[in-house]
């Protein structure tokens, strides 16, 4: 079983970049959680560990030490850019790297670019800590510019974050040779001109509300090229509310605390309001 380490950049006392009403730490966490959920829903033969699953502070050394001691096979660090540019780019270490590092990055880059309409800023190299100090192949993705209005507007869309996460998940799966789950897993549909939520829901035996819930949509607006999740693959998710505990959630869904922790790569019982957990 291969081990995937997902690293949502920044967190806690380190907000990362900010702009247009967004903080990097929140956007990276959302993308990483969605990536985890898509991988667990659609693929098999892997386990996932995350540097954080809520708004907590983790140093760069803590992140790489954790991944190294766990024996991860791939380290994926998710970030949002800043500095007035626009588009998507990714990085690997600018020193000596393995052939797998190069091949994995190529697959991740290609799959993300299939899903998003960000400008392609290319494949780059840098002396970043998480790339240099990780013992396994590692990539750092920069998903749009938080201080550029056009990019930030995309990052404010939960449906667009689903597209970014789908690209990450598919790229990671291709890199590591993960097998899709039998029965189709969680299928996606690319919106075409003239489509409505109602027509898509009817075609996939869903209600409009179920379709919106699968994709985190808060209104009925969709656009051509948007990638929608149209099957949950039987997975059940729950968004943590204030006062919730893992024990209370496990009782509500007739499961166990350990089962929920395993599904979500949790290493402690601490959960934060707003965190999306897979419960079955």
**DSSP for 168-185, written as a single string:** HHHHHHHHHTPEEPGGG-
Per-residue pLDDT, 162:
87
**Residue 185 pLDDT:** 46
Degrees, nearest 5: CA angle 148-151-154? 145
Task: Give the per-residue pLDDT at 210.
Answer: 79
Bridge partners (DSSP) listed for residue 7 = 77
The pLDDT of residue 41 is above 90: no
Average pLDDT of the chain is: 89
Contact 103, 74 (CB under 8 A): no
The pLDDT tens digits for 160-216 are 898 899 999 999 999 999 998 764 445 677 788 888 998 888 877 778 887 887 766
Q: Is the pLDDT of residue 53 over 80?
A: yes
pLDDT of residue 232: 57
Question: How many other C-beta atoms can be found within 10 angstroms of the C-beta atom of residue 254?
Answer: 8
Residue 203 backbone phi and psi in degrees, to 5: -70, -20
Distance CA 13, CA 18 (A): 13
> Which tokens belong to 209?
């509300």
DSSP track, 131-177: HHS-SS-EEEEEEEETTSHHHHHHHT-HHHHHHHHHHHHHHHHHHHT
Examine the residue annotation and report whether 142 is marked as an active-site residue of this protein: yes
Domains 188-229 and 237-278 share a fold: yes
Active-site choice (24, 89, 111, 142): 142
Please give the pLDDT value at position 278.
75
What CATH fold (topology level) applies to the domain 188-229? Membrane-bound Lytic Murein Transglycosylase D; Chain A (3.10.350)
Read off the tokens for 130.
């998480």
Please choose, from the candidates 154, 134, 137, the residue with its C-alpha nearest in 3D space to the C-alpha of residue 80: 154
- With a CB cutoff of 8 Å and minimum separation 6, the contacts of 233 are 41, 42, 181, 183, 184, 185, 186
How confident is the model at residue 3, as a pLDDT? 97
**CA–CA separation, 35 and 169 (whole Å):** 5
Give the pLDDT score at 57: 97
* Residue extents of the structural domains in the chain: 2-179, 188-229, 237-278
Q: Which residues contact 265 (CB under 8 A, 6 or more apart)?
A: 6, 36, 47, 48, 49, 50, 53
User: 207 or 20: whose pLDDT is higher?
Assistant: 20
Give the pLDDT of residue 216.
Answer: 63
Q: What kind of architecture, by CATH, is found in domain 2-179?
A: 3-Layer(aba) Sandwich (3.40)
CA gap 217, 186 in Å, rounded: 17
For residue 106, pLDDT beyond 70: yes
- Give the whole-angstrom CA distance, residue 146 versus residue 18: 6
237-278: which CATH number, 3.40.50.300, 2.60.120.580, 3.10.350.10, 3.30.70.260? Answer: 3.10.350.10
| Angle subtended by helix axes 158-176 and 99-115, to nearest 10 | 150
Task: Quick: pLDDT tens for 111-142.
Answer: 999 889 999 999 999 999 999 999 999 999 99
* pLDDT top residue among 230 and 15: 15
Pairing of strands 276-278, 237-239: antiparallel
206-259 confidence digits (pLDDT tens)? 788 878 877 667 788 888 777 777 765 556 677 788 888 988 888 877 788 888
């Amino acid at each position: 079983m291969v081990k995937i380490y997902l690293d949502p950049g920044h967190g806690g006392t380190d907000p990362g970049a900010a702009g247009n009403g967004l903080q990097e730490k929140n956007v990276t966490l959302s993308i990483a959680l969605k990536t985890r959920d898509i991988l667990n829903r659609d693929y098999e033969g892997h386990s996932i560990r995350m540097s954080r699953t809520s708004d907590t502070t983790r140093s760069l050394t803590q992140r790489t030490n954790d991944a190294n001691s766990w024996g991860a096979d791939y380290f994926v660090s998710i970030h949002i850019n800043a500095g007035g540019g626009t588009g998507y780019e990714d990085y690997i270490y600018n020193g000596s790297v393995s052939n797998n590092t190069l091949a994995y990055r190529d697959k991740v880059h290609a799959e993300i670019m299939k899903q998003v309409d960000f400008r392609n800023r290319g494949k780059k190299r840098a002396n970043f800590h998480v790339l240099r100090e990780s013992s396994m192949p590692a990539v750092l993705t920069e998903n749009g510019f938080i201080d550029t209005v056009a990019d930030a507007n995309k990052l404010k869309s939960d449906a667009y974050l689903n597209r970014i996460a789908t690209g990450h998940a598919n790229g990671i799966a291709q890199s590591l040779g993960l097998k899709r789950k039998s029965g189709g897993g969680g299928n996606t549909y690319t919106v075409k001109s003239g489509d409505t939520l109602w027509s898509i829901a009817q075609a996939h035996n869903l209600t409009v509300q179920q379709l919106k819930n699968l994709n985190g949509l808060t209104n009925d607006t969709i656009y051509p090229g948007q990638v929608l999740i149209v099957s949950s693959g039987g997975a059940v998710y729950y968004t943590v509310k204030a006062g919730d505990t893992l024990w209370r959630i496990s009782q509500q869904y007739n499961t166990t605390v350990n089962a929920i922790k395993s599904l979500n790569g949790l290493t402690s019982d601490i959960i934060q309001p707003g965190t999306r957990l897979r419960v079955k």
